[in-house]
Amino acid sequence: VLSALTEKYVAIYDADHCPNPDSLALAVCHLKRSGADCVQGSTYIRKGLFPFRAFVCAEFFVNYFVVLPAMQVITGTGFFGGANGVWLASSLKQLQFDEKALTEDIECFARAIVKNRFKFEFLPESCSGELLPAGPRAFWRQRLRWCMGWDQVTLRHATAFWRADIRLRIRMGLWYIFFCRWISQLCAVIVVLFNARAALQWQLAETDEDVHNLKVPSCIQHLQFASFCGYMVFIIYSASYALFHRHLAVLPGLLLYFMIMPFYVVFNSCMLTVSLFRVATGNTGGWVVTSRATGAALFGEEPLLGIGADVADACSQRVLAIGFVTMGAIAGAVVGDVVGTHEEVLPLWGWVPFGLGATTTYVTDGRVVAACSLAGMALGLVFFYAAMWVARRKNNSGC
């Protein structure tokens, strides 16, 4: 199909997409102006049950209008995310999509930038609407497929990212985009679950004695507060962008999105862990087209990739091991926060007996959190070797 293209520009959409009237014109103009080979636009949810639709739409807004443009500034490149990507036909004709990849768009991007040195840019103003996944099960399967697809591309091209004949900034940027997803998730857990709560406790403390009762060193308190302020700036910037650029419909969704962010961070951490284990063991399952708010899913029969196909070389195994260790650190830190938090009764004025006027506070022992995090890292390494053993057994048995 690609070799038969005759037009100068090619736009790629999923079947449920409906681009905005000015979307293509904006993308083509940006292609001409920037000299890019591909411009990736943004996506929003145009139909679905309100609370779920508002949440996913807000997530897309934050990613496409805030996170990804910032990522492009840092890494020097955008990426091709599949739907709503507009290409120069002459560039696209040089590529082939890997039909066995879980995320063939991301895999295509990785090869295009490493082997063809193509230029990719984001243009969130080029918008296209899609349908909401049909329910929680469809949402989980879609996001897990995306997650496993990114992990597969990371492992498949880890060595090529570093050896590619491209600028050092782009090489480092590719490692940031793919490899640092796991590190970023660990940072998200620390900032959203731990630092934000601790900073709020510190700010709500009314006296110096209240601050002392938190039993947190002042340097840690200031670090937690600084990270919390950065998180607040992120939230305020997202809301301000929506307000001043007339994306008012997304504001209720943003409120919902940031309210349940701690739970969503835990959800994403669980999904990353499941993804790593399934990719390591080759148990990626069959192709499932996401069922939408209107429509049914289609099911494939064959596994998408061969067992252990992307973790055969030493570099891929080292990268995968780091992923497992990082997810173990996240799990350990969460468990340590639960185990290490205990209730303390503080006597009035420090000495009044019989609990008269006493107050109750909850204190988290940082040593327990750190110990559990280290234990989680060790357990993550154990799971990595277990996954490698399972993969080798499947390979030897010819499954």
Quick: pLDDT tens for 127-151. Answer: 999 999 888 888 998 999 999 999 9
Least confident segment among 41-45, 56-60, 352-356? 352-356
Q: Are 195 and 228 in contact (CB under 8 A)?
A: yes
Strand partners, 299: 288
Quick: pLDDT tens for 253-279. Answer: 999 999 888 889 889 999 999 998 888
Reported confidence tier of residue 217, pLDDT bands at 50, 70, 90 = low
Contacts of 338 (CB under 8 A, 6+ apart): none
Per-residue model confidence (pLDDT) at position 200: 64
Per-residue model confidence (pLDDT) at position 299: 44
pTM: 0.82
- Token digits of residue 359: 């107050």
Least confident segment among 41-45, 73-77, 282-286, 320-324? 282-286
Residue 104 has pLDDT above 70, yes or no: yes
- Letter string b/e over residues 193-204, b meaning 16 or more CB atoms within 10 A of that residue's CB: bbbbebbebbee
Contacts of 206 (CB under 8 A, 6+ apart): none
